[in-house]
Amino acid sequence: MAANPETTSIFLIGPMGAGKSAVGRKLAGSLGFAFCDSDEEIEDRTGVDIPFIFDKEGEAGFRQREAKVIDELTLENDIVLATGGGSAMDEHSRAKMAARGTVVYLYASVEQQMERTRKGRERPLLVDKDPREVLTTLMALRDPQYREIADIVVETDGRHVGSVTREIEQKLAEPE
């Protein structure tokens, strides 16, 4: 499916470890767009990191903050927005992303997610749990939600940021 012709903004969705932030930064630079990351925006607004919010407010509190940020950021023009892995769980956020921009689903298998989330930032949903079990469960729940609103689906397994970015740019340029 080609880009949403009504808007210029691009919203990257997909599971943790799919490369949304890295691809988003590169894509924004290539297109001359601003780059936004919903998780970074939440951290900037609250002054604390995501794990702290999960610890103090639980996942429900975090998701409320996330939905508000997505509502506001999806109104912007000429941005590439990297969303959190669970952003598509909220039906209102899904509807706003679908209506307000081109939605690109960066698909990553559970194996790839495991590899990419082993190191780096703390992932609150993986703390003190079996990562494979959590990622498998989340993928089963979220994959249909991602696909429901995706204008473009790009597989990221075993690929570099530049390759994924070029594929997105090619698909964005395709006529309807």
Return the structure tokens found at 148.
């429901």
Give the whole-angstrom CA distance, residue 27 versus residue 123. Answer: 24
Whole-prediction pTM value? Answer: 0.91
Q: Is residue 1 a contact partner of residue 151, using CB atoms and an 8 Å limit?
A: yes
As averages over each run of 10 residues, the pLDDT of the chain (176 residues) reads 62 94 96 96 94 90 94 96 92 96 96 79 64 89 96 95 96 84
Q: Is residue 84 a contact partner of residue 14, using CB atoms and an 8 Å limit?
A: no
User: 114 vs 5, 106, 123, CA distance in Å?
Assistant: 35, 15, 12
Q: What is the pLDDT of residue 121?
A: 57
Q: What is the pLDDT of residue 122?
A: 66
Give the whole-angstrom CA distance, residue 89 versus residue 72. Answer: 17
Q: What is the pLDDT of residue 127?
A: 64
Range 10-173 has CATH code 3.40.50.300: yes
In the chain, where the domains are located: 10-173
Q: What is the pLDDT of residue 1?
A: 37
